[in-house]
Amino acid sequence: MTPGCGVLWHWAAGAKDTADWTGAWCYGSEMSAILVRPRRGKIFAGVCAALADRFEVPRAFVRLGFMFFGLFGVGEFVYVALWILIPRDD
């Protein structure tokens, strides 16, 4: 199996063994290797933009996810923790 390829994706694509996984979708080489908060394209602190850029998903999805988890009181704490932990892009 190629590094960066998800086993679940291969199973969902119908691959029966590892020999069938060679043509499956992989994200390893295109994904950003570092996690940094960008200076541009951010709304508040850049945490959602950093996560979206790192995992190559739309920023709106990540922002909606934090808003959803914010309803349960978890999103705010995770956002602040990531704000402290993720370095700023220089």
Do 69 and 76 contact (CB within 8 A), yes or no? no
Domain ranges within the chain, ordered by starting residue: 1-30, 31-90
Cβ neighbours of residue 62 closer than 8 Å, sequence gap 6 or more? 48, 49, 51, 52
Output the pLDDT for position 82: 95
Per-residue pLDDT of the chain (90 residues; tens, 9 = 90+): 444 444 444 444 455 555 444 444 444 445 557 899 998 888 889 999 999 999 999 999 999 999 999 998 888 999 999 999 999 988
What pLDDT sits at residue 89? 86
